[in-house]
Each structure stands twice: as structure tokens, then as C-alpha cells.
């Protein structure tokens, strides 16, 4: 009986199939290593596959161009390895030993032989990562070299390479390839963040929350900064926003900083995949201890700082504490003041914070908040729904700051001395029992309200009006009367109750009758239960 032929592998044809294939590949290494190392291995391998595929595609394009010019094979061989022909098209140079074809050929490693030193698949991948970093200065110190550790099952790693070998990220043009991998990378970040629970929040902010910041601030051009950039999600969403609105992503300069080494490396890879040239510092570093961009004045700041950090690098004489020295046991107002210190003349910022920041008076936070309000820096406060962050149950809000709220380039309506409050706690939908998400319509409602209030181009033709239960434009005097509490619910009031047409006297009588009927039914059921228990006893 002839042996069965191996079923042909069909390349993924849709984004869902591509994600499913890659997640299946990721599962092959689950179990033998901790979540953070597992994440680094998978994301590193996805990145390696992408840069190699993009390199191979560009190489074929060069060959076709040279053939069209009438060159023969020898002439092509002399020109096809010109690194500038790759780097000039935003394609990383990939040395021969780092190319996927070579790694796939040796997925089971290289066996010892006379004159040949054996190597595991993990050693080959580590060497490939080092070779790529050496050939591309902007990737220096970014890629993981952990594939030959004892905790990495080399047999499963070989199987993983085989499975990745059936997946191509290119074939639809360089931009499409980048978009595909970018979406896969973001998908994996989200999956890993969910898997790691609370720790996942250190590197991942839900896309809906990031979009609220981006859609309100509209960072079309200029300097964009994130002092705790995680895996770079704020920058990626900024690029997407610009492209969706027909802008030019090259008109934005990205600056970021991250304290965690692994997260900093993820951000560097994430930006590289999306073609974003970001300045994330020469290494990871604590923003409070050593600001990597000390002279930066940004046009936009987007940030999701870690909430309620008790152990942070605090110096009382820090020049950033213009509005008051933050308390020792909570860094919330340290983050806020650091961010404000980074705003340019007309700079704006959006900062995700724990809800407690809007009303806390401990450790002098109330006095700092009062100073911020009196300086007319707060432009908008948004209370978000619960359960947006799978990693924490803490309710969150977004603070928006503006150095200039006068009529001008940032809006056609003078909003000096006013703050917009939006209570969005009733928006969103449940993805599952543990997690809520904001829909496109929810985000549009929030951003549209802000732009109508500010009179921006996006809000043209829409007149702002207070909406009970949702939004309210407050004067500074009102906020002062509320002792500078910035909780939207204090200002927006309650949503109007729909009139069902039933007179109030009739409704009270009807509901009272229904309640008495329920009491009678409860008494009847209680008697039945007593009777049944009496028979048993």
C-alpha cells in the first residue's frame, strides 16, 4: 500500500486565518516557560519572519528591475546586494544567515560533522537576531536572543519554524505587508496582555481607550510624546489616525520612554513593523529618575501611566513640580505634572488615570488639582466605563490638558475659564463576562462632543449643547464651588427620565398594587414550604 501523501498546506487567505495560524504556532511553546519569556520568543520570531519576507520581496523587485534594464545574471549578482536599495525602501537589511530560507532549511538545527560545528535551532535564531541588529543600527539592543535557553524546547521550536514557514506576510506590496504584520503584532500583544492579567497592563492599553485619546487630540502633525510608552500603542494609533484622515505620517515626530527593558524592546519592534521612526532613547529608563528627552516641548502628549504607584523616584526640589510637590505614596500627580512640563506653547495632552485622581485630597493632591484648574490647564474630563482594562478593576478616567484654550488654531470657540465634563460610564458593550469595549459609535460620540465644544474643524456644523447625564461645560467658579473635584458625575447631572404617558398618581397606585400582590404570593409560598417541611419532619 503506497504511503499517504502529506496534505498540502494552504496559505492563510484572510486576516482571521492568519491570526489563527500564528496563534496555533504560539501554542506549540506554551507550558515550558513563563509568560513573559514565551511572549518574547513568539513576538521575536514573528518579527524575524516579517523582516525576512519583506527582504525577499524587495530582493525580487530589484532583480526584476535589473532584468528590465537588460542586465545579465552576473551583473545582477553584483548589484542585488546593494544595502541602500533595501534601506532606501524602508526594508531592513537581512544577512544571509538570518534569512528565513536558511533558518527553515535548518529548523532541526545543524548536526556535528567533520569540520562543521553543530548548532541548535535556537543558536541559529539567536545568531540571526544578532546579525540583523548589527546590520541595522536602529534595531540595536532591540531583538531577543533567548532562543537557545534551557527553557526553550528545541524540538517544538523547530516545529514552530516549520509552521511559520507556511505563512507569508508579503505578496500585496510592502505597505500591505507591513499592515498585515502590524495587525498580527497588535493582536498578539492583546492576547498576551490578557494571558498575563495585571502584568499585561504594563505594556498594553486597550485599543478603544487609545483611540479616545487620539480622536480627541487629533495629532495630525508635530511632536508626539509618551513618557511611559509601553509597547508603543499610542504611536501606532496616531499613525493609523493620520492615514485614515489622508494625512502624511512623516509629518509626525515620535518621542517616548519606557522603564521596562522587555517592554522597551517590544515598542522598538512594534514601531519598526509599522514603519514609524521613533526616538525611544538609547535604552530603557525611569522617566522620573532620568528624563531621556529633557529639552522636548511636545505638541501632543498621549499617556497611560501606571496607576497609584507608591514606590517612585521622588525629589522634592524637582523643577517639574510647578503646581505642588506630589505625595510620597502616589505618583499620579507626578505623572500629570511631568506631562504638563512637556507641553509646547499650544500643546495638548490626554492622560489615562485612576478615578481617584479626580477627587483625592490626600498628600496635598487636592491643592495641586486646584492649582491646575486655576491655571486653566484642564480642558476636558471624561469618566470611562468600568471593565475596559482586563488587567485591573480600577475605574478609569481621561484628563485632557491644553496650554491654550483661546479661540485660534486649536478651535474656533474661546473656552478659557471653562472645562468640559463627559460622563461616558454608560457607553460600551461587553466582549465577555470580564471585559468591556468601546464601539466606533461610542468613540465618535465622545470625540464629536469635544470637537463641537471646542469648535474644531472636525466639529464644524455641530453646535455644542449640554446634555443632562452625559456632558456639561462648567465655569471655573462652579468647579471652585465644588472644591475642585473633577468627577463628571457632579456636573452633568442625571439623564432625563422618559415620560411613558402614565399619570403619576395612577402609576403609584398600580405599582403599590403589584407590590402587595407580590407580598401575598410570598406568604402563600412560605406556607407551602412550611407544610412540606412538616411532612418530612
Q: What share of the chain is helix, strand, coil (3-state, %, to 5)?
A: 45, 10, 40
Under 8 Å between Cβ of 420 and 453:
yes
Residue 2 in domain: no
The domain of 30 spans 15-173
Q: What is the pTM of this model?
A: 0.81
Residue 144 in domain: yes
Asked whether residue 131 falls in the same domain as residue 79, the answer is yes
Asked whether residue 273 falls in the same domain as residue 403, the answer is yes
Rounded-to-integer distance, Cα 216 and Cα 218, Å: 6
- Rounded to an integer, the average pLDDT of 482-510 is 84
> In the listed set 442, 465, 486, which residue is the last one of a domain according to the structure?
486
Q: What are the angstrom distances between the C-alpha of 86 and each of 34, 50, 52, 89, 356?
A: 37, 14, 12, 5, 50
Q: Which of 186, 215, 449 is nearest to 350 (CA)?
A: 215
Mapped onto helix, strand or coil, the DSSP state of residue 298 is: strand
Domain count, the chain: 2
User: Per mean pLDDT, which range of 41-50, 99-108, 314-323 is the poorest?
Assistant: 41-50
> In the listed set 467, 486, 505, which residue is the last one of a domain according to the structure?
486
**How much is the pLDDT for 168?**
63
Radius of gyration for the chain, computed over Cα atoms and rounded to the nearest angstrom: 29
Asked whether residue 364 falls in the same domain as residue 216, the answer is yes
Asked whether residue 374 falls in the same domain as residue 462, the answer is yes
- Rounded to an integer, the average pLDDT of 99-118 is 87
Q: Which of 44, 350, 14, 53 is nearest to 192 (CA)?
A: 44
Rounded-to-integer distance, Cα 296 and Cα 310, Å: 27
Asked whether residue 208 falls in the same domain as residue 277, the answer is yes
> In the listed set 154, 173, 192, which residue is the last one of a domain according to the structure?
173
Q: Which long-range contacts (CB under 8 A, 24 or more apart) does 429-435 make?
A: 430/387, 434/387, 434/390, 435/387, 435/388, 435/390
Strands 252-256 and 222-226: parallel
Residue 137 in domain: yes
Q: How many CB atoms lie within 10 A of CB 312?
A: 17
Where residue 131 sits, what CATH number does that domain have? 1.20.1260.30
Provide CB contacts within 8 A for 84, sequence distance 6+. none
Asked whether residue 98 falls in the same domain as residue 221, the answer is no
Residue 142 in domain: yes
Asked whether residue 166 falls in the same domain as residue 312, the answer is no
- What is the pLDDT of the chain when averaged over all its residues? 87
Interhelix angle 154-165/35-68, nearest 10 degrees: 40
Rounded-to-integer distance, Cα 341 and Cα 66, Å: 53
Position 497 pLDDT exceeds 80: no
- Rounded to an integer, the average pLDDT of 260-272 is 87
Residue 347 in domain: yes
**How much is the pLDDT for 210?**
93
Kindly indicate the confidence band of residue 523, based on its pLDDT and cuts at 50, 70 and 90: confident
Asked whether residue 159 falls in the same domain as residue 214, the answer is no
User: Per mean pLDDT, which range of 167-176, 235-244, 260-269 is the poorest?
Assistant: 167-176
Asked whether residue 330 falls in the same domain as residue 210, the answer is yes
Helices (H), 245-376: 261-273, 332-341, 365-374
Where residue 482 sits, what CATH number does that domain have? 3.40.50.150
DSSP string covering 445-479, please?
Answer: HHHHHHHHHHT-GGGTT-----BTTTEEEEEHHHH
| pLDDT, tens digit, 9 for 90 and up, residues 64-81 | 999 999 999 899 999 999
Continuous segment of H or E residues that includes residue 63: helix 35-68
| pLDDT, tens digit, 9 for 90 and up, residues 429-475 | 998 887 899 999 999 999 999 999 999 999 888 999 999 999 999 99
- Rounded to an integer, the average pLDDT of 201-217 is 85
Residue 167 in domain: yes
**How much is the pLDDT for 28?**
67
Residue 296 in domain: yes
**How much is the pLDDT for 6?**
42
Asked whether residue 153 falls in the same domain as residue 210, the answer is no
Kindly indicate the confidence band of residue 59, based on its pLDDT and cuts at 50, 70 and 90: very high
| pLDDT, tens digit, 9 for 90 and up, residues 377-392 | 999 999 999 988 876 6
Asked whether residue 167 falls in the same domain as residue 215, the answer is no
Asked whether residue 160 falls in the same domain as residue 218, the answer is no
Which one is predicted more confidently, 416 or 111? 416
In percent, how much of the chain has pLDDT > 70?
Answer: 88
- Rounded to an integer, the average pLDDT of 7-18 is 56
Using the structure block, give the residue that is written with the C-alpha cell 519583506.
Answer: 54
Kindly indicate the confidence band of residue 5, based on its pLDDT and cuts at 50, 70 and 90: very low
**How much is the pLDDT for 355?**
94
Position 174 pLDDT exceeds 50: no
Amino acid at each position: 500500500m503506497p504511503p499517504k501523501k502529506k496534505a498540502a498546506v494552504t496559505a492563510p487567505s484572510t486576516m482571521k486565518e492568519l491570526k489563527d495560524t500564528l496563534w496555533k504556532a504560539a501554542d506549540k511553546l506554551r507550558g515550558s516557560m513563563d509568560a513573559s519569556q514565551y511572549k518574547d520568543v513568539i513576538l521575536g520570531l514573528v518579527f524575524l519572519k516579517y523582516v525576512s519576507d519583506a527582504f525577499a520581496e524587495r530582493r525580487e523587485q530589484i532583480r526584476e528591475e535589473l532584468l528590465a534594464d537588460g542586465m545579465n545574471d552576473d551583473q545582477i549578482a553584483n548589484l542585488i546586494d546593494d544595502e541602500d536599495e533595501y534601506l532606501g525602501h524602508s526594508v531592513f537589511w537581512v544577512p544571509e544567515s538570518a534569512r528565513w530560507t536558511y533558518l527553515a532549511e535548518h529548523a532541526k538545527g545543524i548536526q556535528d560533522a567533520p569540520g562543521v560545528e553543530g548548532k541548535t535551532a535556537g543558536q541559529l535564531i539567536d545568531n540571526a537576531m544578532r546579525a540583523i541588529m548589527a546590520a541595522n543600527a536602529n534595531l540595536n539592543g532591540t531583538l531577543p536572543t533567548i532562543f537557545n535557553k534551557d527553557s526553550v524546547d528545541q524540538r517544538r521550536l523547530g516545529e514552530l519554524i516549520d509552521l511559520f514557514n507556511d505563512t507569508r506576510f508579503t505578496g500585496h506590496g510592502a505597505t500591505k505587508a507591513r499592515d498585515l504584520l502590524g495587525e498580527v503584532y497588535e493582536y498578539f500583544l492583546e492576547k498576551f496582555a490578557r494571558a498575563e492579567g495585571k502584568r499585561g497592563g504594563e505594556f498594553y492599553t486597550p485599543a478603544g481607550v487609545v483611540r479616545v485619546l487620539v480622536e480627541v487630540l487629533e495629532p495630525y502633525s508635530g511632536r508626539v510624546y509618551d513618557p511611559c510608552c509601553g509597547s508603543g500603542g499610542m504611536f501606532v494609533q496616531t499613525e493609523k489616525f493620520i492615514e485614515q484622515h489622508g494625512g502624511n505620517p512623516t509629518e509626525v515626530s515620535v518621542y517616548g520612554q519606557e522603564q521596562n527593558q522587555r517592554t522597551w524592546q517590544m515598542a522598538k519592534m512594534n514601531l519598526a513593523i509599522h514603519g514609524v521612526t521613533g526616538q525611544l532613547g538609547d535604552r530603557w529608563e525611569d522617566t522620573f529618575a532620568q528624563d531621556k528627552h529633557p529639552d522636548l516641548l511636545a505638541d501632543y502628549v498621549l499617556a497611560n501611566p501606571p496607576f497609584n504607584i507608591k514606590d517612585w523616584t521622588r525629589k522634592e526640589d524637582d523643577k517639574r513640580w510647578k503646581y505642588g510637590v506630589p505625595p510620597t505614596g502616589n505618583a499620579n500627580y507626578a505623572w500629570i505634572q511631568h506631562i504638563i512640563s512637556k507641553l509646547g506653547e499650544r500643546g495638548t495632552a490626554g492622560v489615562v488615570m485612576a478615578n481617584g485622581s479626580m477627587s483625592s485630597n490626600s498628600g496635598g493632591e487636592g491643592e495641586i488639582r486646584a492649582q491646575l484648574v486655576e491655571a486653566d490647564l484642564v480642558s476636558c474630563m471624561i469618566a470611562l466605563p468600568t471593565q475596559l482594562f482586563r488587567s485591573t478593576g480600577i475605574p478609569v478616567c481621561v484628563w485632557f490638558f491644553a496650554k491654550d484654550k483661546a479661540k485660534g488654531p486649536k478651535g474656533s470657540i474661546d473656552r478659557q475659564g471653562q472645562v468640559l465634563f463627559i460622563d461616558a460610564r454608560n457607553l460600551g458593550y461587553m466582549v465577555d463576562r470580564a471585559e468591556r469595549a468601546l464601539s466606533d459609535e461610542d468613540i465618535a460620540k465622545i470625540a464629536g462632543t469635544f470637537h463641537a465644544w471646542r469648535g474644531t474643524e472636525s466639529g464644524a456644523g455641530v453646535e455644542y449643547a449640554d446634555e443632562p447625564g452625559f456632558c456639561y461645560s462648567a465655569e471655573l467658579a462652579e468647579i471652585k464651588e465644588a472644591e475642585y473635584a473633577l468627577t463628571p458625575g457632579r456636573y452633568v447631572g442625571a439623564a432625563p427620565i422618559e415620560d411613558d404617558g402614565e399619570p403619576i398618581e395612577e402609576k403609584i397606585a398600580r405599582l403599590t398594587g403589584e407590590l402587595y400582590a407580590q407580598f401575598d404570593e410570598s406568604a402563600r409560598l412560605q406556607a407551602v414550604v412550611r407544610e412540606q417541611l412538616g411532612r418530612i419532619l
